[in-house]
Amino acid sequence: MQKIYVSGTNGFIPSYAIGELHDRGYYVVGLQRSQRTVKGLTKREIPDEIYYGDVRDKALAHKIIEQVDGVIHLAAILGTKHTEDVWPWYENNVMGVLNTLDACEVFDVPMVYISVGNFFEHNNYSNTKMAAEREVMKYAKYRGVRGGVVRALNAVGPRQKVKNTGKIMSTFITQALKNEPITVYGGRDNCSKMDMIYAGDVAKVLVTHLENIASGKTAPATKVEAGTGLAPTVFEIAQMVIKACDSKSEIIEVPMRDGETPGSTVIAENPFPIEYRDLNEVIKETVDFYREFGE
């Protein structure tokens, strides 16, 4: 492989995937809806070639994938608190993957898809990500697509968006830096336990899994987990953030939101074998980023 297509390249995890691909010598083709992107990028995290368009555009998917040697599909609508207005999630998170799979089948291009650790939840995001994961497995098992899945746990690190994502690390840090209250759904006793993984480590797993499938080292229809195997509670994560920010924020305990399970544990049971970064180290680096760039 020489040229890799990454979808959603103006997103958080995609920026790390692009950097990892460049470090390994690949030429990166990106697809994004607009020129708006995450803050703090360097040339390393920017695609060599960018298409502006939509993953729902089947003709565009075929046009891009015809010219590349591998695909990392990352584009999706995020947000676990949503249980209504489901169609945008299915149109983007499922149709986008089906368009990618159809093109990979036609041109025999290997691909990996990023799935979720909280597959057991019943909200628009988890439901559609799991539906797409099952399609990848179906295409790989029965239609000859060299496709694989990376179930990524809770990716964290610099450049993560705050607004409209519901991501706890970026939300907690930006609140703590302003000494604002930090809300923990479920409170100390019923909040979730979450395996927090550095986004750069997720990128390493994505690229390595694609390389392994493309080379035949790993069979298609293989699922792997990008996660550390450790899962502090959300309450403990809030405490870690407050300490790292030297903040005066108070923790506010509230009931869980619709579509989320009290006391759930989202953890990698069989972490992909790489050396994962320490969470406290990642939190410190992320705090420094938001001190410099804000929200």
pTM score, two decimals? 0.93
Residue 133 and residue 149 in contact, taking contact as beta carbons nearer than 8 Å: yes
Q: Which runs of consecutive H residues, i.e. helices, occur in 109-198?
A: 124-142, 168-177, 187-190
Q: Which two tokens stand for residue 125?
A: 């995001």
Q: Which runs of consecutive H residues, i.e. helices, occur in the chain?
A: 12-23, 58-65, 87-89, 95-107, 124-142, 168-177, 187-190, 199-215, 234-245, 279-293
Give the domains, in start order, of the chain with CATH numbers. Answer: 3-156+196-226 (3.40.50.720), 168-195+229-268+277-293 (3.90.25.10)
d(CA 116, CA 129): 7
Residue 77, pLDDT score:
85
Q: Which two tokens stand for residue 37?
A: 């992107």
Tens place of pLDDT for every residue, the chain, 295 residues? Answer: 899 999 999 999 999 999 999 999 999 999 999 887 888 899 999 999 999 999 999 999 999 999 999 999 999 987 655 667 888 889 999 999 999 999 999 999 999 999 987 777 778 888 999 999 999 999 999 999 999 999 999 999 999 988 766 789 999 999 999 999 999 999 999 999 999 999 999 999 999 999 999 999 999 999 999 999 999 999 999 999 999 999 999 999 999 887 778 898 989 999 999 999 999 999 999 999 999 998 7
Residue 82, pLDDT score:
64
Residue 209, pLDDT score:
98
Burial (CB count within 10 angstroms: exposed 0-12, middle 13-18, buried 19+), residue 57:
middle
Residue 80, pLDDT score:
56
Of 86, 163, 186, 74, nearest to 127 (Cα)?
Answer: 86
